[in-house]
Amino acid sequence: SHMHTGTWRFRTIPVGINMMLENPWLGVGVSQQKWNWPEEVIGVLIPKLNVPPPIHNSYLSIGIELGFGGLIVLLLIMFTTAERLYWLVQRFRALGDPELSDVALALLVGFVGMAIAMLAYPMVDTFRYFWLLPAITAALLQIEQRVTRETTPSPKLGQ
């Protein structure tokens, strides 16, 4: 039977939660989620294919494959990246650099959009931009440190 992709994504959420709860500590292994669909959903919710589809929710996928620890690490990376980007927007603005502030803001908006898109698409293992945005954030943090060092007067010897 034909199922709208939005309906399919919604209906796989409880299945994914159950899959994650079956192996909460270690998960089923990297890139193994699609091979571990419960038998009762094969042919009903999941089509019978040579290569079954992955769950279309990055958070559940990581939780299923790597357990709660992997999910927590993912969420920490995402929270830290978003928080640092927000801080960089404010910091570059305070340093009088509107261009770098705008770059940080654009990255923040893109990162938030990607975080939302991850609810409906498996992006962590196949979508390289997920990893690129935290890496660019780290590069911007290095630029902020360099700018701060260059604009902060160094103390005179003996003072």
What string of pLDDT tens digits covers the 159 residues of the chain? 456 888 889 999 999 999 999 999 999 999 999 999 999 998 888 888 888 889 999 999 999 999 999 999 999 999 999 999 999 999 999 999 999 999 999 999 999 999 999 999 888 877 777 888 999 999 999 999 998 888 877 676 665
For position 50, what pLDDT does the model report? 85
For position 99, what pLDDT does the model report? 96
Residue type, 146: R
For position 85, what pLDDT does the model report? 98
For position 68, what pLDDT does the model report? 97
Distance CA 78, CA 80 (A): 6
pTM, two decimal places: 0.85
Residue 60 in contact with residue 123, Cβ under 8 Å? no
Q: What is the DSSP string of 101-158?
A: HHHHHHHHHHHHHHHHHTTTS--TTT-THHHHHHHHHHHHHHHHHHHHHHHSPPPPTT
Question: 119: how many CB neighbours lie within 10 A of its CB?
Answer: 14
